[in-house]
Amino acid sequence: MRTKTRLTCPCGTVVTGADEDDLVVKARSHLSESHPGMEYSRDEILFIAY
């Protein structure tokens, strides 16, 4: 299974992490800063990651 380390938010921002754990942390940080009130589970974040 390939490690997912990038995702593109629907707003166009590309979020990149060193590994899946880092990606989830950075995606949640982006969400809290740019999209207050939107929360996604780890599985939801990794579902849209590549």
* Residue ranges making up the domain that contains 29: 6-48
CA atoms within 13 A on the CB side of 45: 26
- Long-range CB contacts (within 8 A, 24+) of 3-12: 4/46, 4/49, 4/50, 5/49, 6/49, 6/50, 7/45, 7/48, 7/49, 7/50, 8/48, 9/34, 9/35, 11/35
pLDDT at 2: 83
pLDDT at 32: 97
What is the reported pTM?
A: 0.92
Give a yes or no: residue 35 inside a domain.
yes
pLDDT in tens, the chain (50 residues): 789 999 999 999 999 999 999 999 999 999 999 999 999 999 999 999 99
Give a yes or no: residue 44 inside a domain.
yes
Give a yes or no: residue 1 inside a domain.
no
The number of distinct structural domains making up the chain is: 1
